[in-house]
């Protein structure tokens, strides 16, 4: 039996070696597969964005926050939307099924309940057709039938004021494997040791 077949959410195996800079959607999907089976713990707001804690509860060093998740998703410079997928469906819903919500609508517990598990995690290449792939959306489907979509905020590459390595990512994920995934801006991503900045 292969390692993939024996893996459980309680003992995840790091799916990919360090990637300093990549635009490969297939490899990005492999990184995201470690989220499948992880339960939702809680949401926290950060300005207009949202931070999602998944996986196993961990003690937080912040005295005001008693626990955190072993996986932490931060939407950073991206839009986030919620849609209905149908009961335990991993299919990507139609765009018309998604709606932009306020953080309080997520935190009231009526859309995605704590304890619901991720049943699908995918990176969806997206962007204006004339320019090809301009970024990656994050699609998460939950066992209760709700989907979460994180979409990059597109800007003209010619107006960028910072190098990619110094700009704010569209979304990022911290994992329990001493790794953090930063995606965007644009169609680039990196999977690095925690604390190591992205480099050229």
Q: What is the DSSP letter of 167?
A: S
Angle at alpha carbon of residue 95, lines to 93 and 98, rounded to 5°: 80
Higher pLDDT, 64 or 96: 64
Q: What's the whole-number average pLDDT of the chain? A: 76
Does residue 3 register a pLDDT over 60?
Answer: no
Closest among 119, 123, 117, 180 to 151, alpha carbons compared: 123
pTM here is 0.78
Angle at alpha carbon of residue 53, lines to 85 and 71, rounded to 5°: 100
Domain ranges of the chain: 40-193
| Helix or strand (DSSP H, E) at 117 | none
Pairing of strands 189-193, 135-142: unpaired
């Amino acid at each position: 039996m292969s390692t993939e077949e024996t893996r459980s959410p309680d003992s995840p195996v790091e799916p990919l070696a360090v990637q300093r800079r990549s635009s490969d959607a297939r490899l990005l999907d492999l990184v995201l597969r470690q989220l499948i089976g992880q339960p939702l713990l809680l949401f926290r707001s950060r300005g207009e964005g949202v931070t999602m804690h998944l996986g196993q509860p961990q003690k937080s060093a912040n005295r005001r926050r008693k626990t955190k998740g072993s996986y932490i998703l931060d939407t950073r410079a991206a839009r986030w939307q919620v849609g209905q997928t149908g009961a335990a469906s991993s299919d990507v819903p139609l765009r018309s099924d998604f709606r932009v919500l306020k953080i309080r609508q997520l935190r009231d517990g009526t859309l995605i309940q704590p304890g619901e598990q991720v049943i699908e995690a995918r990176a969806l290449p997206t962007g204006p057709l004339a320019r090809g792939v301009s970024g990656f959306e994050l699609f998460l489907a939950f066992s209760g039938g709700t989907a979460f979509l994180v979409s990059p905020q597109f800007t003209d590459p010619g107006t960028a004021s910072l190098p990619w390595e110094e700009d704010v990512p569209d979304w990022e994920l911290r994992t329990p494997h001493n790794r953090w995934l930063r995606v965007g801006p644009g169609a680039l991503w990196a999977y690095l040791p925690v604390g190591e900045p992205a480099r050229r």
